[in-house]
């Protein structure tokens, strides 16, 4: 039995959450689970305000009546942010790195110097052995490099092959 510091009622240990492991096992919190829950609800009610969607490209505002853990105005915004974050995490880079390269390359592919003809965003090209970014490529150039497995010798062989059959 333990006495809750908030409601001052004696309750069994199962009504208290554990905070961490001590030398002799888990340590029980001083406030029971129901008091923690009611305090959390009181805090949420007092501090509810309209807040922006966490997708920085979205201008929607979440109303104060929205659940406090809701961070995005729609599944579309949530999916967009999750996809963007996971894509850049693979290459140890950020959206700022992509934006910087986009400006440096004037929004064009680093190889063909064209806009992406498919209407997609430029792909973040990276070295597959080190996962470091190299530049932004259109869909066609990115797939082409991937087909040659980023091997310069294979690309030179392809150039020689094309040159041998060049009619111009």
What averages of pLDDT result for each successive group of 10 residues across the chain (168 residues)? 94 88 81 93 82 88 84 90 79 83 92 81 84 87 89 92 84
134 and 80 in a common domain: no
pLDDT for res 111: 94
SS3 150: coil
Q: Alpha-carbon distance 79 to 73, whole Å?
A: 11
CATH code of the domain covering residue 18? 3.30.60
125 and 143 in a common domain: yes
SS3 18: strand
Q: Alpha-carbon distance 13 to 34, whole Å?
A: 13
- Rg of the chain over CA atoms, in angstroms? 28
Total structural domains within the chain:
3
147 and 82 in a common domain: no
pLDDT for res 4: 94
pLDDT for res 94: 81
CATH code of the domain covering residue 135? 3.40.1800.10
Q: Alpha-carbon distance 16 to 3, whole Å?
A: 10
pLDDT for res 168: 61
For 77-108, letters b (16+ CB in 10 Å) and e give bbeebeebeeebeebebeeeebeebeeeeeeb
What percent of the residues of the chain are helix, what percent strand, and what percent coil, each to the nearest 5? 40, 20, 40
Range of the domain at 111: 94-168
Going from the C-alpha of 23 to that of each of 16, 26, 28, 112, 120, the distances in angstroms are: 19, 8, 13, 64, 56
58 and 23 in a common domain: no
pLDDT for res 16: 92
SS3 86: helix
115 and 100 in a common domain: yes
Instruction: Say which residues have a Cβ less than 8 Å from residue 67's Cβ, sequence separation at least 6.
Output: none
60 and 38 in a common domain: no
165 and 101 in a common domain: yes
Picking from 62, 90, 118, the residue at the C-terminal end of a domain is 90
130 and 68 in a common domain: no
Do residues 137 and 98 touch, judged by C-beta distance below 8 A? no
């Amino acid at each position: 039995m333990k006495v809750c510091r908030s409601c001052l009622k004696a309750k069994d240990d199962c009504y208290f959450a554990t905070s961490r492991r001590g030398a002799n096992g888990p340590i029980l919190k001083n406030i029971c689970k129901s008091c923690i829950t009611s305090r959390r609800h009181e805090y949420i009610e007092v501090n509810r305000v309209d807040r922006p969607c966490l997708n920085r490209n979205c201008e929607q505002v979440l109303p104060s009546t929205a659940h406090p853990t809701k961070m995005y105005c729609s599944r579309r915004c949530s999916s967009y942010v999750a996809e963007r974050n996971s894509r850049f995490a693979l290459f140890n880079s950020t959206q700022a790195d992509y934006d910087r390269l986009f400006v440096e390359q004037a929004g064009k592919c680093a190889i063909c110097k064209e806009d992406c003809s498919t209407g997609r965003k430029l792909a973040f090209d990276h070295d597959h052995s080190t996962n470091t970014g190299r530049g932004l490529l259109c869909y066609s150039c990115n797939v082409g490099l991937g087909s040659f497995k980023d091997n310069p010798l294979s690309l030179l062989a392809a150039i020689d092959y094309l040159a041998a059959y060049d009619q111009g």
